[in-house]
A and B are shown apart, each in its own frame.
Chain A
Amino acid sequence: MKIKITLNQSIKEFDVQPDEFLLDTLRNHHVTSVKKGCDQSTCGVCTVLLDGKPVLSCSLLSVRADGHEVVTVDGIQDEIEKISDSFGHEGADQCGYCNTGLALTIYAMKRELKSPSDLDIKKYVVGNLCRCSGYEAQLKAIKRYLGEKL
Chain B
Amino acid sequence: MEIKTYHQATTLLDAYETLNKDPKNVIIGGGLWLKHANQNVNTLIDLSQLGLNQITEEKDDIVVGAMVTIRDFETNPLIHQLASGMLYLGTNQIMGTGFRNMATIGGSIFGKYPFSDLITPLLALDTRLVFFMSGEMSLLEYIEKKGKLNDILVYIKIKKHAGKGYFKKVSNTQLAFSMLNVAIHYQHQQFKIVVGSRPGVAELAIEAMNHLNQAKSVTKDVIHEAVELMAKTTQFGDNEDATEGYRRELAKVYMKRGIEEVLV
Residues of chain A at the chain B interface (Cβ within 8 Å): 1, 17-19, 39-42, 44, 47, 50, 53-56, 58-61, 63-64, 105, 108-109, 123-129
19 contacts between A and B (CB under 8 A): A19-B2, A41-B99, A42-B95, A42-B99, A42-B175, A53-B71, A53-B101, A54-B97, A55-B101, A56-B98, A58-B35, A59-B32, A61-B34, A63-B46, A64-B48, A123-B92, A125-B97, A126-B97, A126-B175
Task: Produce 1/0 per residue, B137-177, CB < 8 A to A.
Answer: 00000000000000000000000000000000000001100
Q: State A50–B35 Cα separation when bound (angstroms).
A: 20
- B98 and A47 within 8 A (CB): yes
- B99 and A127 within 8 A (CB): yes
Measured as residues with beta carbon below 8 angstroms from the partner, the interface class of chain B is 20 to 34
Chain B residues closer than 8 Å to A64, beta-carbon distance? 31, 46, 48
- A54 and B101 within 8 A (CB): yes
Q: State A125–B46 Cα separation when bound (angstroms).
A: 28
Chain A residues closer than 8 Å to B35, beta-carbon distance? 39-41, 58-59
Name the distance in Å between A133's Cβ and chain B's nearest Cβ: 16
Q: State A39–B102 Cα separation when bound (angstroms).
A: 15
Q: State A66–B67 Cα separation when bound (angstroms).
A: 17
Residues of chain B at the chain A interface (Cβ within 8 Å): 1-6, 28, 30-32, 34-36, 41, 44, 46, 48, 71, 92, 95-99, 101-102, 174-175
- B97 and A60 within 8 A (CB): no
- B48 and A41 within 8 A (CB): no
- B98 and A54 within 8 A (CB): yes
Known: A1-B6, A18-B4, A126-B96. A61 touches B31 (CB 8 A): yes
- B31 and A59 within 8 A (CB): yes
Q: State A128–B99 Cα separation when bound (angstroms).
A: 10
Known: A39-B35, A41-B32, A59-B35. A18 touches B5 (CB 8 A): yes
- A63 and B6 within 8 A (CB): yes
- A105 and B97 within 8 A (CB): yes
Known: A41-B32, A64-B31. A18 touches B96 (CB 8 A): no
Name the distance in Å between B47's Cβ and chain A's nearest Cβ: 11
Name the distance in Å between B83's Cβ and chain A's nearest Cβ: 21
Name the distance in Å between A113's Cβ and chain B's nearest Cβ: 10
Q: State A47–B175 Cα separation when bound (angstroms).
A: 16
Chain A residues closer than 8 Å to B99, beta-carbon distance? 41-42, 56, 127
Chain A residues closer than 8 Å to B34, beta-carbon distance? 19, 59, 61
Q: State A18–B36 Cα separation when bound (angstroms).
A: 17
Q: A41-B32, A42-B95 are in contact. List 17 more A-B contacts (CB 8 A).
A: A39-B35, A41-B35, A42-B175, A44-B98, A53-B71, A53-B101, A56-B32, A56-B98, A56-B102, A59-B102, A61-B3, A61-B34, A125-B97, A126-B175, A127-B95, A127-B96, A129-B175
